[in-house]
Every structure is written in structure tokens, then in C-alpha cells.
Amino acid sequence: MRAVAFMNQKGGVGKTTCAVNLGAALAEARRRVLLVDMDPQANLSVHFNVDIHAIERSTYTVLRGESTAREAVLPEVRERLWVLPANIDLSGAEIELVSAVGRESLLRDVLQPFLAEEPFDFVFVDCPPSLGLLSLNALTAVEEVFIPLQTEYFALQGMTRLLEVVELIRARLNPALSVSAIIATMFDPRTNLGREVLEEIRKYFGKKVCRTIIRTNVTLAEAPSHGKTILEYAPSSRGSEDFRKLAKEILRR
Ligand SMILES: Nc1ncnc2c1ncn2[C@@H]1O[C@H](COP(=O)(O)OP(=O)(O)OP(=O)(O)O)[C@@H](O)[C@H]1O
Ligand SMILES: [Mg+2]
């Protein structure tokens, strides 16, 4: 099993889009995938048409110890895809859990018994755009970090801080942790800027940068409003093509 956090404290860089659609592409490739929504914005849950106002169990209740992961994970939302949903309640967790014992490892502790019983091939944790307690919990619960980077100016802004936090969690709480993939997103091959930024990203991260680049594709932005993954919404779009290719690459890496 590979457990991965999709992380970048910069907002709107494609974390959720990557977690959802790479997850869906891996499920299509016959892997069993659990998606954990660790963002109070709950965009990942919305991608699957989850009624976030109606759910009684969520990442929040699980972190609070009010329900188990098994109780809160929704029944298979798509073939081989499972979702632990979130809602706005999770925004309270940053503050409420500050005084909890082992506050950085709550997610790991609640997921462990569930993962021990369920044979998932991938667990993806979608993080909020911050380096707060929710993101620290994600880093403690996984072994890999995937960093989506938008191929725009300032793509690398904040990277030093992000890598420092990963290193801190590795040293103190989770020796197995590493940044294993950088995913360049929203790439427009027609612009010089896109190519320049991609070059800069490759210089900074070297081999960690995935060969597969996620191009800008409007169907990727449309799919969530229909409660669909890109593979369902526009199966032959460039978006679907890119995520299927990325899934193959991730399976090889
Ligand atoms: N390759 C793409 N082409 C076109 N639009 C995209 C692409 N990737 C993501 N988007 C759109 O860009 C916006 C931001 O993407 P996304 O929500 O995945 O980013 P995020 O990093 O999860 O954001 P946040 O930090 O708010 O959680 C969304 O509206 C999404 O649909
Ligand atoms: Mg998001």
C-alpha cells in the first residue's frame, strides 16, 4: 500500500484535481484507492457528489474519536474508489485539537486499524492550502508527499518552507516520509512562461518531477460541478489522457 499526501500550502494549484483524478485513473487500472478529504473546503468530497451538509460522519468526527474510520468512509463511491468525506466542521479541528495528546498523529492513529483490515493499494490524503495541524496530520499518516505545482510565476514560492516542514515531521514523527513526486499542473504548452516555469521546476527538483505534465484543460474545471471525475465527465479529453498517463507513471515509480 502506498499512502500519499497531496500538499502545497499555496491555494488553487491542483491538489484536489490531482488527488481525485489520479485516484480515479488508478481505480480504472484496477487498483483499490481510498481518498481522504482533509480540507474543510471539502472539494474532494464534492467531486463525488457527496452531500456535505447531510453527512454525520466525516474526517472531523474520526479525528475527534466520535466515529471510526470504518464508520465514516462512504460505501464504495465508484468501482474500487472509497472516500472519507469532510465538511466545514473540519475547520474547527485546527483549534480544538491543539491540546489533544499526540495531536500531530491523530489521523495516523485512527486510520491504522482500518488500513490493517482493508487491502487498499493507494491512500490519498487531500490537504488544505496551509501548513497547519491538518496538514501535519496528513504528513504523519503517509509515507509519500506529492506536490502539485502550477506552471505559473511564483510556482516555487513557499517550497523552502514546505520542504522544511516535511523534514521536521520526518525527523521527529515519521522517518519513512519523503517527497516522492512533483506534478506540474495547468501547463499551457503555447506560452513561453509555462515552458520557462517548467524548466525552473525541473532545475529545482530534478528527477522528482513527473514526466507526465497535466495540461490546462477546461473539462477538468467543469467536472466537479457535475459531481464527476474527469474519466466519467470527459473520458476522451486531454485531462483524462493526462491523468491516465500519470497513473501509469506513478505505478512504475
Ligand atoms: N489542469 C487544469 N486545467 C484547468 N483547470 C484546472 C486544472 N487543474 C485544476 N483546475 C481548476 O483550478 C482550480 C484549482 O484546482 P484545485 O481545486 O485542484 O486546486 P487545490 O490546490 O486543491 O486548491 P485549494 O488550495 O483551494 O484546495 C479548480 O477550479 C480546478 O477545477
Ligand atoms: Mg483542494
Confirm whether 226 is domain-assigned. yes
- Which residue from 8, 13, 16 has its CB within 8 A of the most atoms of ligand 1, so it is best to mutate? 16
C-alpha cell at 198: 517548467
> Residue 177 belongs to what domain range?
2-248
From the CA of 224, the nearest ligand is 1
**For ligand 1, is residue 16 a contact (CB within 6 Å)?**
yes
pLDDT tens for 103-118 read 999 999 999 999 999 9
Confirm whether 153 is domain-assigned. yes
CA of 15 to the centre of ligand 2 (A): 5
**For ligand 1, is residue 140 a contact (CB within 6 Å)?**
no
Q: Residue 156: name the closest of 20, 58, 13 by CA.
A: 13
CA of 244 to the centre of ligand 2 (A): 20
| Residue of the CA atom closest to atom 25 of ligand 1 | 11
Q: What is the CATH classification number for the domain harbouring 177? A: 3.40.50.300
Sign of the alpha-carbon dihedral angle for 115, 118, 124, 128 = negative
pLDDT band, residue 138 (cuts 50/70/90): very high
Confirm whether 141 is domain-assigned. yes
pLDDT tens for 179-192 read 999 999 999 989 99
C-alpha cell at 4: 500519499
| Residue of the CA atom closest to atom 10 of ligand 1 | 221
CA separation for the pair 208, 65 (Å, rounded): 36
Q: Residue 2: name the closest of 30, 28, 48, 34 by CA.
A: 34
**pLDDT of the residue at 115:** 97
pLDDT tens for 75-94 read 999 999 999 999 999 999 98
CA of 11 to the centre of ligand 1 (A): 9
pLDDT band, residue 133 (cuts 50/70/90): very high
Confirm whether 253 is domain-assigned. no
Confirm whether 194 is domain-assigned. yes
The count of C-alpha atoms lying within 13 angstroms of the C-alpha of 34, restricted to the half-sphere facing its C-beta, is 23
CA of 101 to the centre of ligand 2 (A): 28
Residue with cell 488553487: 12
β-pairing verdict for 122-126 and 178-185? unpaired
pLDDT band, residue 54 (cuts 50/70/90): very high
The answer to whether 44 touches 86, Cβ cutoff 8 Å, is yes
CA separation for the pair 39, 86 (Å, rounded): 7
Q: Which atom of ligand 1 is nearest to the CA of 8?
A: 21
Give percent above pLDDT 90 in the chain: 96
Q: What integer best gives the mean pLDDT of the chain?
A: 97
**pLDDT of the residue at 79:** 97
pLDDT band, residue 218 (cuts 50/70/90): very high
pLDDT band, residue 57 (cuts 50/70/90): very high
**For ligand 1, is residue 212 a contact (CB within 6 Å)?**
no
CA of 173 to the centre of ligand 1 (A): 30
Q: Residue 56: name the closest of 83, 76, 78, 74 by CA.
A: 74
**pLDDT of the residue at 137:** 98
Q: Which atom of ligand 1 is nearest to the CA of 215?
A: 1
**pLDDT of the residue at 238:** 98
Give me the number of domains the chain comprises. 1
**pTM of the predicted model as reported, rounded to 2 decimal places:** 0.98
pLDDT band, residue 212 (cuts 50/70/90): very high
